[in-house]
Amino acid sequence: MASLKEGAQGYEPSKTKNIAELEAVSVEQEFFLNEKRKNSKDEEYLMSYIVVGGEEYRVPNSVLEQLKVILEAKPDLKTFKVTKKGELLKTSYTVIQLE
């Protein structure tokens, strides 16, 4: 049995992971679009995500927009990667084709 002190020292707040944290993503990955969630202030928001290894990874709308354009040009695409620059409102994502 752990002490409260040990629990506090090992505590890490839960946070939503981001698709940019993954090395590669399959276009066949199961996808959940615009699921309703509540934030810490009990306000509803919509979140799109994938589940990899039992963990949820948020998929920003800008990633979906870029992936749509890529798939129109290359419908046989199998995997891609996402890079992320910036934070909060200044975050930008780039979808990179892999293969």
8-17, 64-73, 88-97 — which is least confidently predicted?
Answer: 8-17
Span 2-34, pLDDT tens digits? 788 888 888 777 788 999 999 999 999 999 999
> Which pTM value belongs to this model?
0.82
Task: Indicate the residue type of 89.
Answer: L
Looking at residue 15, what is its pLDDT?
Answer: 82
In a 10 Å sphere around its CB, with 0-12 CB exposed, 13-18 middle and 19+ buried, how is residue 79 labelled?
Answer: middle
CA 68, CA 47: separation in Å to the nearest integer? 18
Residue ranges of domains in the chain: 16-98
